[in-house]
């Protein structure tokens, strides 16, 4: 009963707090073509669910305590943290993200469908209780960092309805709960909360894997802020110097470009850098993740379990119930065919270019000439293939007697004569099979920072036809087959096991999307 009375009182406070901004928010916020529904809505007054209130009590949290939200694209998860009486933040709850669009990496320009990455400030004026996407809040993109880097776009939201054009789309039920938690924090006196958006969890393992991605320098800058929060469990003060973020305490808030680094933060960074160096020394490959158009949490797929396998082969226990979220209404899911294709992880070289695996050249097919050589004689065909006359002289007139032919393409070395022919054994067969299957790495040029260039580059690997190149009589005859073999051996890993889907990888940009 005490919880119920508290919830009713909270609704009264929230109504008084948000009433002055309802009209302004409804008229100005248009994220993902967001807008005002017909008439005023009472969705924004929905109480925090009893299960979440119980969770708060278990963790010693109050409804009015300040909050902080963190989002991760690759994992498709959003965390809500609350600050305790000791001044440190603790994790309240993790929510699966239903849909985000674009690729890993920051938003750069209007219409690129990128969901933003960075540190943003959310005020009550950015909350939209009458969103056409159930409920929403504006991330505040572009912030000072985005403007310093020339990024354009606006109205990038966290909202309900599983449809995204540069936004983070939650289910309506999840958005209702997140909105209610934020509303109560504002009612408790918090003037603004921090929204941290990351491409993935900023672990040493992930930083090692994506070290050669074109966005890696930006992600290392984001990790400085992530390290501050994770080491101190405190909201980092954020500044911008030039075109980079600056994180720290009061000195960063005052505009210092070289804020003091807390010893605990320095210790964490040193530990992570040491772990990264070890992983690189062990040969951890550098990779890049490519999407058709963003992703979503696996919990919303038709077939899912309470745990899912990652690329290392281990299973990760989900911090939420797949059964519960599987019953959520997803609404109109945006670009489901792109979502079904899932991410592809491609190995890249030091310049961020994809590395392909080409099969070793096939052994030459035995011919009559080869058989004749095996018997110790030379046929006319063999003589003509090597370009030598009957006298053992080459076309240049110089004698080749006594010189080995092994270094010449297509040359066949005669076997030594024995009284009994050597019978191939199992060891010989295994050695030949190993030698034939040994891959050869080749680097493909281009695609430094444009995801669409990867798809043009890899051609049929992702079921996307590329324009045919006019053939030349001789060169194409030699090059076509090895390249065809290489294209079918691209090193690609799907992040999570699931049913087979037809893959369509063309990155489609709808000009009507206003992200």
Backbone φ, ψ for residue 248 (5° rounding): 170, -155
C-alpha span between 306 and 513 (Å, rounded): 34
R_g of the chain, CA atoms, integer Å:
31
DSSP type of residue 69: E
- Contact at 8 Å (CB) between 319 and 383? no
CA angle, 135 as apex, 129 and 137 as ends, to 5°?
80
328 is catalytic: no
Q: Could you tell me the sign of the dihedral formed by the alpha carbons of 26, 27, 30, 35, in that order?
A: positive
Instruction: Extract the tokens encoding 48.
Output: 């925090």
159 is catalytic: yes
Residues across the chain = 515
C-alpha span between 174 and 7 (Å, rounded): 18
Host H or E run for residue 127:
strand 127-128
First to last CA, the chain: 44
Cα torsion through 431, 437, 440, 445, rounded to 10:
180
- Contact at 8 Å (CB) between 66 and 168? no
DSSP type of residue 348: B
DSSP type of residue 188: T
Instruction: Extract the tokens encoding 202.
Output: 């900023």
In the set 159, 257, 271, 328, the catalytic residue is 159
In the set 162, 167, 257, 274, the catalytic residue is 167
C-alpha span between 63 and 40 (Å, rounded): 25
Q: Which residues are catalytic?
A: 159, 167
């Amino acid at each position: 009963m005490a919880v119920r009375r508290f919830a009713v009182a909270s609704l009264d406070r929230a109504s008084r707090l948000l009433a002055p901004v309802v009209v302004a928010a409804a008229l100005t916020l248009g994220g993902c073509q967001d807008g005002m529904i017909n008439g005023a809505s009472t969705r924004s007054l929905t109480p925090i669910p009893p299960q979440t209130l119980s969770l708060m009590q278990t963790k010693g949290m109050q409804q009015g305590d300040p909050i902080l939200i963190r989002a991760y694209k690759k994992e498709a998860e959003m965390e809500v943290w609350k600050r305790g009486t000791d001044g440190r933040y603790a994790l309240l709850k993790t929510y699966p993200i239903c849909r985000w669009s674009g690729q890993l990496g920051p938003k750069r320009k209007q219409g690129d469908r990128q969901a933003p990455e960075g540190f943003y400030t959310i005020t009550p004026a950015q909350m939209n209780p009458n969103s056409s996407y159930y409920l929403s809040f504006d991330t505040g993109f572009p912030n000072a960092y985005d403007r310093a880097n020339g990024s354009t776009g606006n109205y990038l939201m966290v909202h309900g309805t599983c449809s995204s054009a540069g936004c983070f789309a939650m289910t309506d039920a999840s958005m209702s709960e997140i909105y209610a938690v934020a509303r109560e924090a504002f009612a408790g006196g918090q003037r603004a909360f921090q929204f941290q958006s990351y491409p993935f969890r900023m672990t040493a393992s992930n930083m090692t894997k994506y070290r050669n991605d074109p966005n890696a320098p930006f992600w290392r800058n984001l990790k400085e802020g992530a390290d501050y929060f994770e080491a101190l469990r405190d909201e980092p003060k954020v500044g911008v110097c030039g075109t980079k973020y600056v994180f720290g305490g009061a000195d960063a808030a005052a505009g210092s470009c070289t804020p003091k680094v807390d010893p605990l933060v320095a210790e964490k960074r040193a530990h992570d850098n040491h772990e990264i160096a070890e992983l690189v020394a062990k040969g951890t490959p550098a990779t890049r993740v490519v999407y058709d158009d963003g992703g979503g949490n696996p919990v919303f797929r038709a077939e899912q379990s309470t745990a899912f396998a990652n690329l290392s082969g281990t299973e990760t226990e989900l911090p939420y119930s797949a059964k519960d979220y599987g019953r959520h209404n997803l609404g109109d899911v945006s670009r489901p065919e792109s979502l079904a294709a899932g991410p592809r992880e491609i190995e890249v070289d030091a310049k961020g270019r994809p590395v392909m695996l080409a099969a070793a050249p096939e052994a030459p097919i035995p011919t009559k000439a080869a058989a004749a050589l095996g018997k110790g004689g030379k046929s006319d065909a063999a003589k003509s293939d090597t370009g030598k006359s009957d006298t053992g002289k080459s076309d240049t007139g110089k004698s080749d007697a006594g010189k080995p032919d092994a270094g010449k393409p297509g040359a066949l070395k005669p076997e030594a004569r024995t009284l009994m022919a050597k019978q191939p054994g199992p060891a010989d067969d295994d050695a030949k099979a190993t030698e034939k299957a040994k891959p050869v790495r080749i680097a493909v040029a281009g695609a430094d920072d444009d995801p669409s260039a990867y798809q043009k580059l890899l051609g049929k690997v992702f079921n996307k036809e590329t324009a045919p190149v006019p053939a030349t009589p001789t060169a194409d005859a030699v090059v076509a087959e090895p390249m065809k073999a290489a294209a079918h051996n691209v090193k690609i890993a799907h992040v999570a096991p699931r049913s087979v889907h037809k893959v369509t990888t063309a990155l489609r940009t709808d000009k009507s999307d206003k992200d």
